[in-house]
Amino acid sequence: MAIETPGTRPDTKPVAVPANPRFSSGPCAKPPVFDLSKLADAPLGRSHRAAVGKAKLKAAIDGTREILDIPDDYKVGIVPASDTGAVEMAMWSLLGERKVEMLAWESFGAGWVTDAVKQLKLDAEVKTAEYGEIVDLSAVDTDNDVVFTWNGTTSGVRVPDGDWIKADRQGLTICDATSAAFAQDLPWDKLDVVTFSWQKVLGGEAAHGMLVLSPRAVERLESYTPPWPMPKIFRLTKGGKLIDGIFEGATINTPSMLAVEDYLLALDWARSVGGLQGLMARADANTKAVADFVGTHEWVEFLAQDPATASNTSVCLKFSDDRISDGAAFAKAVAKRLEAEGVAYDVGAYRDAPPGLRIWCGGTVETADVTALMPWIEWAFNAEIAALTEAV
């Protein structure tokens, strides 16, 4: 819950401050119950291939499947290099069999476009939209392979649903869901490859990614060999067969057992708040606290143009005031004031995104803290406007 700060001046500054000022969009806030002492059971100094290590890794895989309600016939594996590694593994291993459509409406999606076109040199059809908007999903042909982000972490724009994906599609849908998994309802029957990382919605530690494969994706892996050399760290098959061990806890390289323990703690906490439904409700409540504020202040807006595509995790805001001539400098100054007051860390917009603020509203954040932050944003905005006026 929010706490009161003695000694503040109520005539100029809000009194309540967030108990946890960590609103970064990655790595994200730890679960509210987190304490280093709760990781004491981590098998440090033990091989991840020992029975205890295998059991921990398998528990992480099984817990992920349980909470996200991933179908039993889908494969769930732990892979290196966070969500980035998982997406790259999928692209390098699966693409090239047929035409691919690359969808991008923010920086990470644009990065996957670059890899497909400039690194893999695929003849890709690229569909893009500006920050705050989304591509015309009805124009996407899912008989082609399709690569897209479900939730644009840097734009605050998400896919509204999976209705645009055909049930009888011929292509594979490869979905980067790193800021969506555990906060949004993913339609597994419409998704063939899903990737995410531990450090996003559950607030785990970085460097580990999750790769989820449908039976159709496994079939592609076992029937298609890409024409390019495959680095060892990307290899998902051996002798034309899926390496099943990856999806049972036999990781490609050595994982951090401390990070695994931390993820297990996060999964336990997720169960305690009602699993996926509870996590989504927490994220929605956090986002509503921001929306209520935006709705009563005309100088701030959501970057997302359509409420139906607005994210409930990486909530991006922009300032709209005619007195602001340098939007980037103004937004950075506001974020700097919030950090200096200790009420919000790392809330500046992503470097490639339009200037503004980005507030993480995933389930590990408490709604009381989001509510307490809003008056501070107003204070910082007014302070910066006053500074501009004085400068003139």
Residues 6+ apart with CB under 8 A from 344: 18, 21, 23, 335, 338, 359, 373, 376, 377
Residue-wise pLDDT for 145-173, tens only, equals 999 999 999 999 999 999 999 999 999 99
The candidate with the shortest Cα–Cα distance to 171, out of 221, 89, 109, 99, is 99
DSSP state of 129: -
Other beta carbons within 10 Å of 268:
13
Indicate the pLDDT class of residue 27, thresholds 50, 70 and 90: very high
At residue 11, does pLDDT exceed 50? no
pTM: 0.95
Closest by CA to 373, choosing from 299, 287, 306, 298, is 287
Helix (H) or strand (E) holding 216: helix 215-223
Fold for 3-32+275-391, please state it: Aspartate Aminotransferase, domain 1 (3.90.1150)
DSSP 261-292: HHHHHHHHHHHHTTHHHHHHHHHHHHHHHHHH
Lowest mean pLDDT among 310-324, 339-353, 378-392: 378-392
Residues 6+ apart with CB under 8 A from 366: 1, 18, 19, 20, 32
DSSP 338-389: HHHTTS-BS-BPPTTSPSSEEEE-STTS-HHHHHHHHHHHHHHHHHHHHHHH
pLDDT at residue 139 in the model: 98
- What confidence tens digit (pLDDT) does each residue in 195-223 have? 999 999 999 999 999 999 999 999 999 99
- Is pLDDT at 7 greater than 90 in this prediction? no
- 390 band by pLDDT with thresholds 50, 70 and 90: confident
**389 has a pLDDT exceeding 90:** no
From the list 142, 206, 150, 213, the residue with the least C-alpha distance to 176 is 150
**Fold annotation for 36-270:** Aspartate Aminotransferase; domain 2 (3.40.640)
- pLDDT of 1 strictly over 80: no
Residues of the chain with CATH 3.40.640.10: 36-270
What local confidence, expressed as pLDDT, does residue 5 receive?
40
Apex CA 252: angle with CA 216 and CA 261, to 5°?
Answer: 100
Determine the average pLDDT of the residues in 56-71: 98
Token pair for 98: 């047929």
CATH 3.90.1150.10 range(s) for the chain read 3-32+275-391
**Per-residue pLDDT band at 293 (split at 50, 70, 90):** very high
Please report which confidence band the pLDDT of residue 8 belongs to, taking 50, 70 and 90 as the band edges: very low
